[in-house]
A = this chain, B = another copy of it.
Protein backbone atom coordinates (compact mmCIF):
# COMPACT_ATOMS: atom_id res chain seq x y z
CA UNK A 1 0.00 0.00 0.00
CA UNK A 2 1.38 3.41 -0.98
CA UNK A 3 1.41 6.62 1.02
CA UNK A 4 -1.54 8.20 -0.79
CA UNK A 5 -3.64 5.01 -0.66
CA UNK A 6 -3.00 4.77 3.09
CA UNK A 7 -4.24 8.33 3.52
CA UNK A 8 -7.28 7.87 1.28
CA UNK A 9 -8.22 4.35 2.41
CA UNK A 10 -7.71 4.59 6.15
CA UNK A 11 -6.97 8.07 7.42
CA UNK A 12 -9.59 10.00 5.43
CA UNK A 13 -12.32 7.87 7.06
CA UNK A 14 -11.44 9.08 10.55
CA UNK A 15 -10.89 12.71 9.58
CA UNK A 16 -13.14 15.58 10.60
CA UNK A 17 -14.60 18.11 8.14
CA UNK A 18 -11.83 20.55 9.14
CA UNK A 19 -9.38 18.19 7.41
CA UNK A 20 -10.96 18.78 3.96
CA UNK A 21 -10.95 15.01 3.33
CA UNK A 22 -7.13 15.10 3.81
CA UNK A 23 -6.95 16.27 0.19
CA UNK A 24 -5.40 19.55 1.24
CA UNK A 25 -2.15 20.12 3.18
CA UNK A 26 -4.00 21.99 5.89
CA UNK A 27 -7.01 21.99 8.15
CA UNK A 28 -9.30 24.99 8.24
CA UNK A 29 -11.08 25.63 11.52
CA UNK A 30 -13.41 28.34 12.73
CA UNK A 31 -12.87 28.44 16.51
CA UNK A 32 -16.12 28.98 18.45
CA UNK A 33 -16.17 32.43 20.04
CA UNK A 34 -15.65 32.82 23.79
CA UNK A 35 -13.19 29.94 23.94
CA UNK A 36 -9.46 29.80 24.39
CA UNK A 37 -7.47 27.25 22.43
CA UNK A 38 -5.09 24.88 24.23
CA UNK A 39 -2.52 23.17 22.02
CA UNK A 40 0.11 20.57 22.81
CA UNK A 41 2.53 18.40 20.85
CA UNK A 42 4.00 15.11 22.05
CA UNK A 43 6.21 12.56 20.36
CA UNK A 44 6.76 8.83 20.80
CA UNK A 45 10.06 7.33 19.68
CA UNK A 46 10.57 3.62 19.00
CA UNK A 47 12.96 2.14 21.53
CA UNK A 48 12.43 5.06 23.91
CA UNK A 49 8.67 5.36 24.49
CA UNK A 50 7.66 2.00 23.04
CA UNK A 51 9.33 -1.30 22.19
CA UNK A 52 11.30 -1.77 18.99
CA UNK A 53 9.09 -3.37 16.37
CA UNK A 54 5.77 -2.48 18.02
CA UNK A 55 3.32 -0.87 15.64
CA UNK A 56 -0.27 -1.66 16.49
CA UNK A 57 -3.57 -0.33 17.72
CA UNK A 58 -2.26 0.00 21.29
CA UNK A 59 0.54 2.25 20.03
CA UNK A 60 -2.02 4.44 18.25
CA UNK A 61 -3.92 4.70 21.54
CA UNK A 62 -0.75 5.57 23.45
CA UNK A 63 -0.04 8.34 20.92
CA UNK A 64 -3.56 9.70 21.39
CA UNK A 65 -3.46 9.44 25.16
CA UNK A 66 -0.10 11.05 25.89
CA UNK A 67 -1.43 14.04 23.95
CA UNK A 68 -4.96 14.02 25.40
CA UNK A 69 -3.31 13.86 28.83
CA UNK A 70 -1.60 17.23 28.32
CA UNK A 71 -4.76 19.14 27.50
CA UNK A 72 -7.14 17.53 29.97
CA UNK A 73 -4.65 18.38 32.74
CA UNK A 74 -5.40 21.99 31.78
CA UNK A 75 -9.15 21.32 31.99
CA UNK A 76 -9.60 21.59 28.21
CA UNK A 77 -11.76 19.60 25.77
CA UNK A 78 -9.91 17.89 22.87
CA UNK A 79 -11.41 18.66 19.45
CA UNK A 80 -8.86 17.67 16.80
CA UNK A 81 -5.35 16.37 16.25
CA UNK A 82 -2.59 16.27 13.67
CA UNK A 83 -0.32 13.28 13.34
CA UNK A 84 3.15 12.89 11.88
CA UNK A 85 4.00 9.27 11.20
CA UNK A 86 7.60 8.49 10.27
CA UNK A 87 7.18 4.80 9.50
CA UNK A 88 9.43 1.89 8.66
CA UNK A 89 9.14 0.64 5.09
CA UNK A 90 6.93 -2.33 4.21
CA UNK A 91 4.32 -2.21 6.95
CA UNK A 92 1.51 -4.51 5.88
CA UNK A 93 -2.01 -3.28 5.15
CA UNK A 94 -3.34 -5.18 8.15
CA UNK A 95 -0.78 -3.54 10.45
CA UNK A 96 -1.73 -0.09 9.18
CA UNK A 97 -5.41 -0.97 9.57
CA UNK A 98 -4.84 -2.15 13.15
CA UNK A 99 -3.13 1.16 13.95
CA UNK A 100 -6.05 3.12 12.49
CA UNK A 101 -8.56 1.05 14.46
CA UNK A 102 -6.76 2.19 17.62
CA UNK A 103 -6.96 5.80 16.48
CA UNK A 104 -10.65 5.52 15.76
CA UNK A 105 -11.39 3.88 19.11
CA UNK A 106 -9.72 6.74 20.99
CA UNK A 107 -11.24 9.44 18.80
CA UNK A 108 -14.62 8.17 19.94
CA UNK A 109 -13.59 8.06 23.60
CA UNK A 110 -12.10 11.55 23.61
CA UNK A 111 -14.51 13.30 21.25
CA UNK A 112 -11.98 14.41 18.68
CA UNK A 113 -11.16 13.85 15.00
CA UNK A 114 -8.08 13.62 12.83
CA UNK A 115 -7.48 17.02 11.22
CA UNK A 116 -4.28 16.37 9.25
CA UNK A 117 -0.60 15.57 9.44
CA UNK A 118 2.22 14.09 7.46
CA UNK A 119 3.27 10.55 6.57
CA UNK A 120 6.89 9.78 5.82
CA UNK A 121 9.13 6.75 5.72
CA UNK A 122 12.66 6.07 6.91
CA UNK A 123 14.97 3.15 7.53
CA UNK A 124 15.59 4.44 11.04
CA UNK A 125 13.37 4.13 14.07
CA UNK A 126 9.66 4.86 13.94
CA UNK A 127 8.81 8.34 15.27
CA UNK A 128 5.20 9.36 15.89
CA UNK A 129 4.15 12.89 16.78
CA UNK A 130 0.76 14.36 17.42
CA UNK A 131 -0.40 17.91 17.93
CA UNK A 132 -3.67 18.16 19.78
CA UNK A 133 -6.09 21.07 19.62
CA UNK A 134 -8.47 21.59 22.53
CA UNK A 135 -10.85 24.33 23.63
CA UNK A 136 -11.77 25.76 27.02
CA UNK A 137 -13.92 28.67 28.20
CA UNK A 138 -11.93 31.94 28.15
CA UNK A 139 -9.26 32.29 30.83
CA UNK A 140 -10.17 28.96 32.47
CA UNK A 141 -7.10 26.95 31.40
CA UNK A 142 -5.24 25.66 34.45
CA UNK A 143 -1.53 26.42 34.27
CA UNK A 144 1.45 24.95 36.07
CA UNK A 145 2.23 28.32 37.55
CA UNK A 146 -0.82 28.91 39.78
CA UNK A 147 0.10 26.88 42.90
CA UNK A 148 0.15 28.96 46.11
CA UNK A 149 1.49 28.15 49.60
CA UNK A 150 -1.21 26.36 51.56
CA UNK A 151 -2.74 24.64 48.50
CA UNK A 152 -3.34 20.89 48.82
CA UNK A 153 -1.41 18.66 46.40
CA UNK A 154 -3.48 15.83 44.90
CA UNK A 155 -3.23 13.21 42.18
CA UNK A 156 -5.82 11.37 40.14
CA UNK A 157 -5.68 7.58 39.74
CA UNK A 158 -2.75 5.50 40.92
CA UNK A 159 0.98 6.03 40.45
CA UNK A 160 3.69 3.57 39.42
CA UNK A 161 1.69 1.04 37.38
CA UNK A 162 3.30 2.11 34.11
CA UNK A 163 6.76 1.98 35.70
CA UNK A 164 6.15 -1.63 36.71
CA UNK A 165 4.72 -2.31 33.23
CA UNK A 166 7.97 -1.06 31.72
CA UNK A 167 9.91 -3.44 33.97
CA UNK A 168 7.88 -6.32 32.49
CA UNK A 169 8.54 -5.10 28.94
CA UNK A 170 12.25 -4.98 29.80
CA UNK A 171 12.12 -8.53 31.15
CA UNK A 172 12.89 -7.50 34.75
CA UNK A 173 9.53 -8.46 36.24
CA UNK A 174 6.96 -11.20 35.73
CA UNK A 175 3.88 -10.62 33.58
CA UNK A 176 1.01 -8.73 35.23
CA UNK A 177 -1.78 -7.62 32.90
CA UNK A 178 -2.80 -4.49 34.83
CA UNK A 179 0.69 -2.96 34.81
CA UNK A 180 1.32 -3.85 31.17
CA UNK A 181 -2.00 -2.29 30.16
CA UNK A 182 -1.17 0.90 32.10
CA UNK A 183 2.19 1.10 30.33
CA UNK A 184 0.91 0.36 26.82
CA UNK A 185 -2.42 2.20 26.96
CA UNK A 186 -2.44 4.85 29.69
CA UNK A 187 -5.76 6.10 30.96
CA UNK A 188 -5.68 9.86 31.51
CA UNK A 189 -8.64 11.14 33.60
CA UNK A 190 -10.67 12.57 30.72
CA UNK A 191 -13.87 12.58 32.80
CA UNK A 192 -12.29 14.97 35.33
CA UNK A 193 -11.44 17.86 33.00
CA UNK A 194 -14.47 19.92 34.07
CA UNK A 195 -13.61 19.49 37.74
CA UNK A 196 -9.94 20.26 37.09
CA UNK A 197 -10.84 23.63 35.61
CA UNK A 198 -13.29 24.31 38.44
CA UNK A 199 -11.05 23.50 41.39
CA UNK A 200 -7.35 23.43 40.51
CA UNK A 201 -5.05 26.42 40.98
CA UNK A 202 -2.32 24.55 39.07
CA UNK A 203 -2.19 21.22 37.27
CA UNK A 204 -0.08 19.15 34.91
CA UNK A 205 0.03 15.59 33.70
CA UNK A 206 2.56 13.16 35.13
CA UNK A 207 4.78 11.93 32.33
CA UNK A 208 8.40 12.36 33.44
CA UNK A 209 7.68 11.06 36.95
CA UNK A 210 5.58 12.37 39.87
CA UNK A 211 8.55 14.01 41.60
CA UNK A 212 10.00 15.48 38.38
CA UNK A 213 6.63 16.87 37.39
CA UNK A 214 6.01 18.26 40.90
CA UNK A 215 9.38 19.98 40.49
CA UNK A 216 8.17 21.49 37.19
CA UNK A 217 5.11 22.85 39.01
CA UNK A 218 7.15 24.12 41.96
CA UNK A 219 9.51 26.01 39.62
CA UNK A 220 6.75 27.45 37.44
CA UNK A 221 4.75 28.52 40.52
CA UNK A 222 7.80 29.69 42.48
CA UNK A 223 6.78 27.62 45.51
CA UNK A 224 7.89 24.52 47.36
CA UNK A 225 5.99 21.24 47.35
CA UNK A 226 6.04 18.66 50.14
CA UNK A 227 5.03 15.13 49.24
CA UNK A 228 4.24 12.29 51.62
CA UNK A 229 5.51 9.23 49.74
CA UNK A 230 3.31 6.91 51.81
CA UNK A 231 0.23 8.86 50.76
CA UNK A 232 0.84 8.40 47.03
CA UNK A 233 -1.98 6.12 45.84
CA UNK A 234 -1.04 2.77 44.33
CA UNK A 235 -3.09 0.00 42.76
CA UNK A 236 -3.88 -3.32 44.47
CA UNK A 237 -1.26 -5.09 42.34
CA UNK A 238 1.34 -2.48 43.23
CA UNK A 239 0.48 -2.70 46.94
CA UNK A 240 1.19 -6.44 46.82
CA UNK A 241 4.47 -5.79 45.03
CA UNK A 242 5.44 -3.11 47.56
CA UNK A 243 4.84 -5.41 50.51
CA UNK A 244 7.28 -7.92 49.01
CA UNK A 245 10.11 -5.38 48.69
CA UNK A 246 12.88 -5.35 51.30
CA UNK A 247 12.95 -1.55 51.47
CA UNK A 248 9.46 -0.23 50.87
CA UNK A 249 10.39 3.43 50.83
CA UNK A 250 13.11 2.89 48.20
CA UNK A 251 10.55 0.93 46.18
CA UNK A 252 8.12 3.83 46.47
CA UNK A 253 10.81 6.15 45.16
CA UNK A 254 11.00 4.02 42.01
CA UNK A 255 7.24 4.40 41.55
CA UNK A 256 7.22 8.19 41.93
CA UNK A 257 10.19 8.73 39.61
CA UNK A 258 9.34 6.19 36.91
CA UNK A 259 6.96 8.32 34.88
CA UNK A 260 4.49 7.43 32.11
CA UNK A 261 1.58 7.63 34.57
CA UNK A 262 -0.48 10.16 32.58
CA UNK A 263 -2.49 10.96 35.68
CA UNK A 264 -2.96 14.56 36.79
CA UNK A 265 -1.05 16.29 39.58
CA UNK A 266 -3.07 19.21 40.88
CA UNK A 267 -2.91 21.91 43.52
CA UNK A 268 -6.21 22.84 45.12
CA UNK A 269 -6.74 25.95 47.26
CA UNK A 270 -7.57 24.96 50.87
CA UNK A 271 -11.04 26.55 50.79
CA UNK A 272 -11.95 24.51 47.68
CA UNK A 273 -10.51 21.20 48.85
CA UNK A 274 -13.52 19.79 50.73
CA UNK A 275 -15.87 20.34 47.79
CA UNK A 276 -13.25 19.12 45.30
CA UNK A 277 -12.75 15.72 46.94
CA UNK A 278 -16.53 15.27 47.01
CA UNK A 279 -16.73 16.05 43.27
CA UNK A 280 -13.75 14.13 41.92
CA UNK A 281 -11.80 10.96 42.77
CA UNK A 282 -8.42 12.37 43.79
CA UNK A 283 -5.99 11.61 46.61
CA UNK A 284 -4.17 14.14 48.81
CA UNK A 285 -0.41 13.55 48.68
CA UNK A 286 1.04 16.74 50.13
CA UNK A 287 0.99 20.51 50.41
CA UNK A 288 2.36 23.59 48.73
CA UNK A 289 4.83 25.56 50.86
CA UNK A 290 6.71 28.85 50.74
CA UNK A 291 9.93 26.93 50.14
CA UNK A 292 11.61 25.94 46.88
CA UNK A 293 11.74 22.62 45.06
CA UNK A 294 10.19 19.34 46.16
CA UNK A 295 10.71 17.72 49.54
CA UNK A 296 9.63 14.12 50.07
CA UNK A 297 8.92 12.59 53.47
CA UNK A 298 7.66 9.28 54.79
CA UNK A 299 4.61 10.56 56.66
CA UNK A 300 6.44 10.37 60.02
CA UNK A 301 8.36 13.58 59.39
CA UNK A 302 11.47 11.85 58.05
CA UNK A 303 12.79 13.54 54.92
CA UNK A 304 13.59 11.13 52.09
CA UNK A 305 16.29 12.03 49.56
CA UNK A 306 15.39 11.43 45.90
CA UNK A 307 18.45 11.43 43.65
CA UNK A 308 16.88 11.39 40.18
CA UNK A 309 13.38 12.84 40.11
CA UNK A 310 12.43 11.49 36.68
CA UNK A 311 13.27 10.81 33.07
CA UNK A 312 15.21 13.24 30.89
CA UNK A 313 15.92 12.69 27.19
CA UNK A 314 19.48 14.07 27.01
CB within 8 Å of B: which residues of A? 1-4, 6, 20-21, 23-31, 33, 36-43, 45-49, 70-71, 73-74, 76, 82-84, 86-87, 89-90, 115-125, 127, 129, 131, 133, 138, 141, 143-145, 204-205, 207, 216, 219-220, 312-314
Contact = CB atoms under 8 A, between A and B. Distances in A.
A67 to B, nearest CB: 10
Given A27-B38, A28-B37, A28-B141, A118 B123 contact: no
Nearest to A27: B39
B47 A123 contact: yes
A52 to B, nearest CB: 10
A39 B43 contact: no
Judged by DSSP, the binding face of A is mixed
B122 A47 contact: yes
A152 B86 CA distance: 36
A3 B145 contact: no
Number of copies: 2
Given A26-B39, A29-B36, A119-B313, 8 more contacts: A2-B312, A3-B313, A4-B312, A23-B144, A24-B144, A26-B38, A89-B314, A125-B125
B26 A71 contact: yes
Given A125-B122, A125-B124, A312-B3, A29 B39 contact: yes
Contact of A82 (B83, B86, B123, B131): B131
A286 B1 CA distance: 32
A23 B74 CA distance: 13
22 contacts: A3-B314, A23-B219, A24-B74, A24-B144, A25-B40, A25-B73, A26-B39, A26-B40, A27-B39, A28-B36, A28-B38, A28-B74, A30-B37, A33-B33, A39-B131, A41-B84, A82-B131, A90-B314, A120-B313, A122-B124, A124-B127, A131-B131
